[in-house]
């Protein structure tokens, strides 16, 4: 079985521009890479962070001005750090600690790599997943993310004997990457995540990550 593709009635709306699937706004640009997080974080914690972030944006709007580039970057870093603090503390269900489920999610993220998107970095943590990737033409961030989450949710619930229950939080967090420097920083952030959470001593030790995968391929090539 493999991740499925969701039909999109209006693909252009999800390729570029500002749209919202729920309470979170999602800004899209055609062509760049993206950083995306989907998680099992408790809803109450996320709602509190959304409220705090909304207050910051409203302050700028009250002054009749958009957020500056620097302010957008600071807001992104603030939000990411607060989310990571909750996640690294092991908040919420941690179904991804189970090796068979981590393997399931890692396989789904990699399944259409090079065909629908380029993978730059990824990691499967106990209660969340980070991915840095660049969608190919005619494939959207929303479509790709939905494919990962829908397939893995169905399969994981089946493996856990859970019926009629949500697996992932409904909305994912995505951030379009402005340049190569930001992409490099976010790739390092992703692969360092298990070390930061004190799950291993170096990125290549974490089995369900692009760092480990790249190291395994290097070792395999060196042994030939």
At 54, which CATH number? 3.30.70.1290
| 142 falls within a domain | yes
Who wins on pLDDT, 23 or 124? 124
Identify the band that residue 46 occupies on the pLDDT scale cut at 50, 70 and 90. low
Q: By three-state DSSP, how is residue 122 classified? A: strand
Q: What is the pLDDT of residue 224?
A: 57
| 4 falls within a domain | no
Q: Considering only CA atoms, which of 27, 203, 3 is closest in space to residue 115?
A: 3
- Domain count along the chain: 1
> What's the whole-number mean pLDDT along residues 49-72?
74
The Cα 147–Cα 21 span in angstroms is: 15
Who wins on pLDDT, 2 or 132? 132
| 6 falls within a domain | no
Query: What residue numbers bound the domain in which 90 lies?
Result: 13-222
| 3 falls within a domain | no
CA distances to 11, 31, 121, 170, 179 from 14, in Å: 5, 12, 22, 17, 21
Q: What is the pLDDT of residue 72?
A: 74
CA distances to 7, 134, 176, 209 from 58, in Å: 34, 31, 21, 37
> What's the whole-number mean pLDDT along residues 75-90?
69
Q: Is the pLDDT reported for residue 23 higher than 50?
A: no
Q: What is the pLDDT of residue 97?
A: 92
Q: Is the pLDDT reported for residue 20 higher than 70?
A: no
Q: Is the pLDDT reported for residue 75 higher than 80?
A: no
pLDDT > 70 in the chain, percent: 76
Who wins on pLDDT, 81 or 107? 107
The Cα 101–Cα 7 span in angstroms is: 26
SS3 content of the chain, % helix, strand, coil (to 5): 50, 15, 35
Q: Considering only CA atoms, which of 153, 151, 171 is closest in space to residue 163?
A: 153
| 1 falls within a domain | no
Instruction: Report residue 27: phi and psi, to 5°.
Output: -95, 125
Q: What is the pLDDT of residue 21?
A: 43
**Environment class of residue 129 by beta-carbon count within 10 Å: exposed (0-12), middle (13-18) or buried (19+)?**
buried
The Cα 192–Cα 123 span in angstroms is: 9
The Cα 46–Cα 94 span in angstroms is: 16
**CB–CB of 103/212 below 8 Å?**
no
**CB–CB of 79/39 below 8 Å?**
no
Q: Is the pLDDT reported for residue 83 higher than 90?
A: no
| 34 falls within a domain | yes
pLDDT > 90 in the chain, percent: 50
Q: Is the pLDDT reported for residue 174 higher than 80?
A: yes
Please give the full DSSP string across 144-213, using - where no structure is assigned.
HHHHHHHHHHHHHHHHTT--S---S-SPPEEEE--SHHHHHHHHHHHHHHHHHTTS-SSGGG-SSBHHHH
Interstrand relation of 34-39 and 17-20 (parallel, antiparallel or unpaired): unpaired
The pair of three-digit structure tokens given for residue 163, joined into one six-digit string: 């019926």
Q: What is the pLDDT of residue 67?
A: 72
């Amino acid at each position: 079985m493999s991740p499925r593709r969701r039909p999109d009635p209006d693909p252009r709306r999800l390729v570029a521009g500002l749209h919202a699937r729920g309470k979170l706004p999602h800004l899209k640009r055609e062509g760049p890479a993206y950083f995306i997080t989907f998680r099992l974080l408790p809803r109450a914690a996320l709602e509190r962070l959304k409220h705090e972030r909304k207050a910051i944006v409203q302050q700028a709007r009250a002054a009749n001005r958009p957020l500056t580039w620097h302010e957008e970057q600071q807001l992104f870093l603030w939000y990411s750090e607060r989310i990571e603090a909750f996640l690294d503390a092991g908040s919420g269900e941690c179904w991804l600690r189970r090796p068979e489920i981590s393997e399931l999610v890692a396989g789904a993220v990699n399944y259409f790599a090079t065909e629908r998107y380029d993978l730059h970095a990824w990691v499967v943590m106990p209660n969340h997943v980070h991915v840095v990737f660049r969608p190919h033409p005619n494939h959207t961030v929303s479509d790709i993310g939905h494919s990962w989450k829908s397939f893995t949710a169905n399969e994981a619930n089946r493996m856990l004997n859970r019926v009629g229950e949500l697996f992932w939080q409904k909305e994912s967090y995505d951030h379009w990457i402005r340049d190569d420097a930001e992409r490099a920083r976010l790739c390092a952030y992703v692969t360092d995540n298990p070390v930061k959470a004190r799950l291993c001593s170096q990125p290549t030790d974490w089995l369900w990550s692009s760092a480990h995968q790249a190291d395994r391929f290097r070792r395999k090539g060196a042994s030939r």
